[in-house]
Amino acid sequence: MIEKRNFYINGAWVPPVNAHDHHVIDPSTEDPCAVISLGDQADTDAAVAAAKAAFPAWAATDPETRAGYVKAILAQYEARVDELAEAISIEMGAPIDMARSSQAPCLPWHLQNALEAMKEIEWIRPLGPHAPNDRIAMEPIGVVGLITPWNWPMNQVTLKVIPALLAGCTMVLKPSEESPLSSLLFAEFVHDAGVPAGVFNLLNGDGAGVGSQLSRHEDVAMISFTGSTRAGKAISMAAAETLKRVTLELGGKGANVIFADADEKAVKRGVLHCMNNSGQSCNAPTRMLVERSIYDQTVEAAAEIANSITVGPASEHGRHIGPVVNKSQWTKIQEMIEVGMNEGARLVAGGPGLPEGMNRGYYVRPTVFADVSNDMRIAQEEIFGPVLSIIPFEDEAEAIAIANDTPYGLTNYVQTQDGPRRNRMALALRSGMVEMNGKSRGAGSPFGGMKMSGRAREGGVWGIEEFLEVKAISGWAAE
């Protein structure tokens, strides 16, 4: 059993004021793998006070110096990457090979991209030739509260902490209590990189406790949150009391529009993307919209692909998917599979219950529904598990209508060899991101959505600017 009972506050590991133990569960076995402490108001106040005291000096540090500390964090990662992957694997169930190849490497990817993006920021810029004595100054917003989820822990920690550091903010990080081990290791990276005391602080806690306390705290200037839409609403309401800035990266129900001229790998690519990370990705393409002329063969192929996906423990090597994170998530997914069957969708792969031969662990059978109507709950609600809904469409106009008929707007996908149609679709789809023909977004591209998916823009220049205030200055003296 791993014991991680202390918090990282003001450059030191300190015990909580009042200990509230929480057991972290290994979802592959259902056994406790660690015990941590959850913070209360006194712990939150101490962390925020440390960040507040450190803010003036950190904000005044030149950007090159801040970048130097971030580079030192990268060096710590490179020395301990295997430790980080193992922590992620045990805490949230990512198969160890995936944790090493996809989960842990989110840290260097986003860190290096942020360093590149920082070079594009003009911290004090002229307003324009019409106003030679006006300047626009970009300044750090202050103390920020960072609340991150369990499904891609290092992805979200890095997308928040690194831009905040580069912007000149000080911070309190509250990672998910479901996957705290990787974040605690990240705090060691920050400490060993020599980041000044109080600039970065970490508290473990739950949403109702530390999460709400940070959201209401009068000395916190901003909350950056990634998680469920339900929690995002609660944070927005709590933060309204102090009129703090709130950036939200929430759920999704992405449409993957497959036209008859899609490339031969489009269906396989879509199914595997949906099932990746056991379906626990907000940008997963969970609705597959298929042109009617290729519908039957696509359903058959999707079922075959899903049935070929193996499920196994996170500790085993291989290309399988692991468990979902906890009993609550497992139960919700099972309920939604039953909902789909009761709504009249045609189950063509997977289904309720544990995979064959398993009687322990939060494993879900890769599941595919065909003949789904977009008004069904399985097409409208985020399931956050390896469950795919296939919906037919007649033409481009109907595909757009179905894809946009959702409360979410995070990522949509398009598969067609028709270039002009790709461009029309990309502009017509109401989402913060559109990816086409299997091509991922480039380095520095912002991640974020529209509608109930929140409106954060994480990554690239946009990700740093979210932590900056814009100050307008007139009467600037000529240099």
Rg of the chain in Å (alpha carbons): 23
Residues 354-405 have pLDDT tens digits of 999 999 999 999 999 999 999 999 999 999 999 999 999 999 999 999 999 9
Indicate if the pLDDT at residue 479 is higher than 80: no
pLDDT at 324: 98
For all residues of the chain together, what is the average pLDDT?
Answer: 97
Whole-number pLDDT of residue 478: 82
Confidence tier at 80 by pLDDT (50, 70, 90) = very high
- What does the pLDDT read at residue 89? 98
* Confidence category of residue 81, pLDDT binned at 50, 70, 90: very high
> What is the reported pLDDT for 137?
98
The reported pLDDT for the residue numbered 156 is: 98
pLDDT at 38: 97
DSSP reduced 3-state for 113:
helix
Helices then strands, counting H and E runs in the chain, come out as 15, 22
DSSP states along 35-63: EEEPP-HHHHHHHHHHHHHHHHHHHHS-H
Percent of the residues in the chain that have a pLDDT greater than 70, as a whole number: 100
Going through 29-162 in order, the beta strands assigned E by DSSP cover 31-37, 124-126, 134-140, 143-147
pLDDT computed for residue 154 by the predictor: 98
In 407-459, alpha helices (H): 419-428
Closest CA to 31 of 466, 386, 361: 361
Q: What's the confidence (pLDDT) of residue 25?
A: 98
Rounded Cα gap, residues 142 and 160, in angstroms: 14
Question: Confidence class of residue 55 from pLDDT cuts 50, 70 and 90?
Answer: very high
Per-residue pLDDT reduced to its tens digit, 171-230: 999 999 999 999 999 999 999 999 999 999 999 999 999 999 999 999 999 999 999 999
Q: How far apart are CA 2 and CA 214, in angstroms?
A: 27
Residue 2, class by beta-carbon neighbours within 10 Å (0-12 exposed, 13-18 middle, 19+ buried)? middle
CA atoms of 272 and 20, how far apart (whole Å): 40
pLDDT tens digits along 308-325:
999 999 999 999 999 999
pLDDT exceeds 90 at position 133: yes
Confidence band of 469 (pLDDT split at 50, 70, 90)? very high
Close Cβ partners of 247 (under 8 Å, ≥ 6 residues apart): 222, 223, 224, 225, 454, 455, 456, 457, 466
Of the pLDDT bands very low, low, confident and very high (cuts 50, 70, 90), residue 344 is very high
**Is 40's pLDDT higher than 90?**
yes
- Output the CA–CA distances (angstroms, integers) from residue 443 to 250, 304, 335, 465, in the order listed: 21, 34, 38, 16
What are the pLDDT digits (tens) for 391-437? 999 999 999 999 999 999 999 999 999 999 999 999 999 999 999 99
pLDDT band at 18 (very low <50, low <70, confident <90, very high): confident
Max alpha carbon distance in the chain (Å)? 76
The distance of Cα 206 from the centroid of its chain, to the nearest Å, equals 17
Task: State residue 104's pLDDT score.
Answer: 98
> At residue 1, does pLDDT exceed 90?
no
Q: How far apart are CA 303 and CA 471, in angstroms?
A: 55
Catalytic positions:
249, 282
Strand pairing report for 170-174 and 143-147: parallel
Mean per-residue pLDDT for 246-272?
Answer: 98
